[in-house]
């Protein structure tokens, strides 16, 4: 176990150093460097970096379990730490979420020491700083704190305090013949990155090969429809050096089939790749319209990857970026986000089959509010509408010029974006006699994301239909297309590969799905209604004020929560759902504020 040994050594080294240095530091005056009297050449890099810094305006460490407090660090410009009482351990951690930098002081710290980000639900263990749930990839650093003479001091090295993040240690030099364990991951998306990180973090020492047909390293896909970023290096989650450091091979190729008997995947160009454990994480294939014009005309695009975005932005940027007519088909999340991203500079029309946008997931009133938000930016809506055909442009008959609705309405178009959903990307398994796909093309799994009926094969992310144990769902099978769910399922599958006998517990046994969307304002959502459905919505706040929380209920049980402008109600609800303490519908109707319940 070469990698496990390396990992153990690297875990032990900094910890033992930190403890001994802190004992000494506690006797030093504030801000004094422990080794300042020694010439630099006598110091190891880490020893030279350790120092003690005073926290501005903090006079005592009287935090109760679940309490947190942000503090400025004197002597390091712009630096802050977050003081926490993590289930009895008082210490400091990085103050910002390592995903997009949300202030964790506004998040939720649970009684058992888990801190959840208010924006998109990333969870960290506040004792160790390790990631417990997506979408964060980097850990938080942890620092010892000490109170003396009416002041509080934090110990750490300047760079780490300043950066407020810590890369997980995935270093692993796989010895060529040392191990026969080979994990092959098909797909390079959210699920894959979760699996890769968790495999190495948990000490997996075999080879890891990721086969992806996307043409670049795993990217932050949710940003595509929010900011139309056409350069993969700007949305890359990890760089090549990072994959190299963990001995993770990324093969840019398409998987065309799997031989489950001799345990190998077939690729278009790289031949067969053998595995001992296989993780399938191929995500979704964006749907297209089987209607006249849509298959043959140019400037009609789906929106799933950077290649799609590049094509869209090339058209939008043509003629010096002059105003274009953008027709978006589909009034669910991708369509609404694409409308939001393009409305400032272009004439945007959204066509939807529903009466109001997002109605199926969020309900009528929230859909209306989302529609009004985009209408303020000039977006026009054609709802309860069906598309008939696309016709060519008069200037260039190879390109689209208009979209016609079934009622005869003609909508001029320079570019059409299709946001009409995805199907599980499992075409390469369709004719496989060993595997049975579900009706929608997905793979049925158990709680560990092992594919039912197959040995040593996992399906994660958008292609997995798994038993959901959230409120009101009773283990019914669902497929959830969320970024966090894909990454979390990758982490759970990795855990099962490393510790096959371990029964999932805590955060791995049940997690609350979290979703977000950039509409006219940030929408946050947790829970799921696919298994249970919902029969009512309790709304606190008002849509007009832009600050509201909607609780989706089935009987007395809250099965999902959506919020806008009400942080951290969504993550507080997610944590309450995790521990089975979400209040009832009647309590919420009576005005109960979930934040008043304190640390879950």
Which one of the spans 40-48, 222-230, 372-380, 471-479 is the region binding ligand FAD (CB under 6 A)?
222-230
Residue 483 binding: pick among ligand FAD, ligand FES, none (C-beta 5-8 Å cut-off by kind): ligand FAD
Which one of the spans 140-148, 276-284, 323-331, 546-554 is the region binding ligand FAD (CB under 6 A)?
276-284
Between 110 and 426, whose beta carbon lies closer to ligand FAD?
A: 426
Degrees to nearest 5, angle at CA 587 with 585 and 590: 110
Tell the smallest beta-carbon distance from residue 119 to ligand FAD (Å).
11
Place of tokens 């191929």: 282
Tell the smallest beta-carbon distance from residue 425 to ligand FAD (Å).
4
What is the distance between the alpha carbons of residues 243 and 240, in angstroms, rounded to a whole number?
A: 5
Residue 117 binding: pick among ligand FES, ligand FAD, none (C-beta 5-8 Å cut-off by kind): ligand FES
Cβ-Cβ contacts under 8 Å for 8 (sequence gap 6 or more) = none
Q: Tell which residue, 483, 514, 502, 131, has the closest CA to residue 281.
A: 483
Between 95 and 568, whose beta carbon lies closer to ligand FAD?
A: 568
Residue 461 binding: pick among ligand FAD, ligand FES, none (C-beta 5-8 Å cut-off by kind): ligand FAD
Which one of the spans 157-165, 278-286, 436-444, 572-580 is the region binding ligand FAD (CB under 6 A)?
278-286
Q: What is the contact mask toward ligand FAD in residues 287 to 306, using x (rule: CB under 6 A)?
A: ----------------xx--
Between 122 and 300, whose beta carbon lies closer to ligand FES?
A: 122
Distance of alpha carbon 538 from the chain centroid:
27
Q: Does 120 bind ligand FES (CB under 6 A)?
A: yes
Q: Which residues pair with 380 in a beta bridge?
A: 349
Phi, psi dihedral angles at 71 (to 5 degrees): -140, 145
What is the distance between the alpha carbons of residues 107 and 593, in angstroms, rounded to a whole number?
A: 16
Q: Which of 117, 258, 420, 574 binds ligand FES (CB under 6 A)?
A: 117
Q: Tell which residue, 306, 312, 367, 364, has the closest CA to residue 338.
A: 312
Q: Does 462 bind ligand FAD (CB under 6 A)?
A: yes
* 482 prior amide bond cis, ω within 30: no
Tell the smallest beta-carbon distance from residue 121 to ligand FES (Å).
6
Q: Which of 25, 122, 338, 569 binds ligand FES (CB under 6 A)?
A: 122
What is the distance between the alpha carbons of residues 303 and 342, in angstroms, rounded to a whole number?
A: 13
Q: Does 197 bind ligand FAD (CB under 6 A)?
A: no
Q: Tell which residue, 148, 202, 170, 111, has the closest CA to residue 31.
A: 148
Between 212 and 473, whose beta carbon lies closer to ligand FAD?
A: 212
What is the distance between the alpha carbons of residues 494 and 101, in angstroms, rounded to a whole number?
A: 26
Q: Which residues pair with 538 in a beta bridge?
A: 551
Degrees to nearest 5, angle at CA 451 with 449 and 452: 120
Q: Does 103 bind ligand FES (CB under 6 A)?
A: no
Q: Does 97 bind ligand FES (CB under 6 A)?
A: yes
Q: What is the contact mask toward ligand FAD in residues 494 to 523, using x (rule: CB under 6 A)?
A: ---------------------xxx------
Q: Tell which residue, 495, 503, 463, has the closest CA to residue 479.
A: 463
Residue 7 binding: pick among ligand FES, ligand FAD, none (C-beta 5-8 Å cut-off by kind): none
Q: Does 482 bind ligand FAD (CB under 6 A)?
A: yes
Between 141 and 284, whose beta carbon lies closer to ligand FAD?
A: 284
Return the number of other C-beta atoms located less than 10 Å from residue 64's C-beta. Answer: 9
Q: Which of 141, 330, 373, 461 binds ligand FAD (CB under 6 A)?
A: 461
Q: Which of 58, 81, 140, 211 binds ligand FAD (CB under 6 A)?
A: 211
Pairing label, strands 272-274, 477-478: unpaired
Cβ-Cβ contacts under 8 Å for 456 (sequence gap 6 or more) = 263, 275, 276, 277, 278
Q: What is the contact mask toward ligand FAD in residues 526 to 565, using x (rule: CB under 6 A)?
A: ----------------------------------------
Which one of the spans 60-68, 96-104, 211-219, 346-354 is the region binding ligand FES (CB under 6 A)?
96-104
Tell the smallest beta-carbon distance from residue 255 to ligand FAD (Å).
4
Between 135 and 470, whose beta carbon lies closer to ligand FES?
A: 135
Tell the smallest beta-carbon distance from residue 482 to ligand FAD (Å).
4
Q: Tell which residue, 130, 206, 219, has the closest CA to residue 169.
A: 130
Q: Judge contact between 190 and 179, C-beta under 8 A.
A: no
Q: Does 133 bind ligand FAD (CB under 6 A)?
A: no
Rg, the chain, Cα only: 26
Q: Does 232 bind ligand FAD (CB under 6 A)?
A: no
Q: Does 465 bind ligand FAD (CB under 6 A)?
A: no
Q: Does 119 bind ligand FES (CB under 6 A)?
A: yes
Structure token pair of residue 546:
């832009």
What is the distance between the alpha carbons of residues 481 and 280, in angstroms, rounded to a whole number?
A: 15
Return the number of other C-beta atoms located less than 10 Å from residue 558's C-beta. Answer: 25
What is the distance between the alpha carbons of residues 497 and 482, in angstroms, rounded to a whole number?
A: 23
Structure token pair of residue 76:
């390091």
Distances (CA, A) of 3 to 178, 194, 381, 413, 537: 11, 19, 56, 56, 50
Tell the smallest beta-carbon distance from residue 97 to ligand FES (Å).
3
Between 169 and 252, whose beta carbon lies closer to ligand FAD?
A: 252
**Residues at the site binding ligand FES, with contacts judged by CB under 6 A:** 97, 99-102, 117, 119-122, 135-136
**Residues at the site binding ligand FAD, with contacts judged by CB under 6 A:** 186-192, 211-214, 221-222, 224-225, 254-255, 281-284, 303-304, 334, 425, 428, 461-462, 481-484, 486, 515-517
């Amino acid at each position: 176990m070469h990698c496990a040994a390396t990992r153990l050594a690297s875990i032990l080294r900094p910890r033992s150093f930190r403890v001994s240095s802190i004992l000494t530091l506690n006797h030093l005056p504030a801000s004094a460097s422990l080794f300042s009297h020694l010439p630099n050449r006598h110091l190891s890099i880490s020893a030279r970096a350790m120092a003690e810094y005073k926290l501005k305006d903090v006079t005592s460490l009287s935090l109760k379990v679940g309490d947190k407090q942000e503090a400025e660090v004197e002597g390091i410009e712009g630096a802050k730490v977050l003081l926490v009482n993590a289930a009895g351990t008082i210490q400091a951690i990085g103050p910002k979420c390592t995903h997009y930098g949300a202030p964790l002081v506004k998040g939720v710290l649970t009684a058992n020491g888990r801190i959840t980000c208010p924006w998109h639900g990333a969870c960290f263990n506040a004792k160790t700083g390790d990631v417990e749930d997506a979408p964060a990839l980097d850990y938080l650093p942890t620092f010892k704190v000490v109170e003396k003479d009416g002041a509080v001091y934090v110990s750490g090295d300047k760079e780490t305090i300043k950066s407020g993040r810590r890369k997980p240690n995935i270093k692993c030099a796989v010895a060529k013949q040392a191990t026969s364990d080979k994990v092959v991951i098909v797909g390079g998306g959210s699920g894959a990155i979760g699996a890769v990180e968790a495999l190495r973090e948990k000490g997996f020492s075999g080879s890891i090969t990721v086969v992806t047909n996307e043409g670049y390293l795993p990217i932050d896909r949710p940003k595509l429809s929010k900011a139309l970023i056409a350069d993969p290096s700007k949305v890359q989650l990890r760089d090549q050096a990072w994959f190299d450091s963990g001995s993770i091979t990324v093969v840019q190729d398409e998987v065309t089939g799997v031989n489950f008997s001799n345990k190998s995947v077939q690729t278009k160009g790289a031949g067969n790749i053998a595995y001992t454990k296989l993780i399938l994480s191929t995500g979704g294939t964006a749907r297209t319209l089987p209607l006249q014009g849509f298959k043959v005309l140019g400037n009609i695009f789906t929106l799933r990857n950077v290649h799609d975005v590049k094509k869209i932005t090339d058209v939008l940027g043509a003629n010096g970026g002059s105003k274009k007519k953008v027709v978006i088909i589909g009034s669910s999340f991708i369509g609404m986000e694409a409308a939001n991203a393009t409305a400032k500079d272009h004439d945007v029309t959204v066509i939807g089959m529903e009466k109001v946008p997002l109605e199926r997931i969020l309900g009528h009133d929230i859909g209306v509010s989302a529609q009004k938000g985009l209408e303020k930016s000039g977006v026009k809506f054609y709802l309860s509408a069906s598309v008939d055909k696309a016709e060519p442009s008069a200037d260039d008959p190879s390109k689209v010029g208009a979209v016609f609705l079934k009622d005869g309405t003609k909508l001029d178009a320079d570019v059409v974006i299709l946001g009409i959903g995805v199907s599980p990307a499992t075409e390469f398994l369709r004719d496989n006699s060993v595997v049975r796909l579900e009706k929608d093309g997905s793979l049925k799994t158990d709680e560990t994301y092992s594919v039912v009926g197959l040995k040593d094969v996992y399906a994660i992310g958008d292609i997995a239909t798994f038993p959901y144990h959230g409120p009101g769902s009773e283990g019914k099978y669902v497929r959830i297309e969320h970024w966090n769910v894909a990454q979390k399922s990758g982490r759970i599958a990795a855990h099962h590969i490393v510790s096959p006998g371990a029964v999932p517990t805590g955060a791995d046994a049940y997690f609350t799905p979290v979703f977000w969307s950039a509409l006219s304002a940030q929408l946050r959502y947790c829970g799921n209604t696919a298994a249970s459905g919902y029969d009512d919505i309790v709304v606190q706040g008002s849509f007009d004020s832009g600050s509201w929380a909607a609780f989706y209920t089935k009987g007395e049980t809250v099965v999902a929560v959506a919020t806008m402008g009400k942080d951290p109600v969504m993550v507080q609800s997610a944590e309450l759902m995790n521990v089975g303490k979400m209040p009832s519908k009647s309590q919420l109707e009576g005005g109960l504020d979930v934040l008043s319940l304190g640390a879950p």
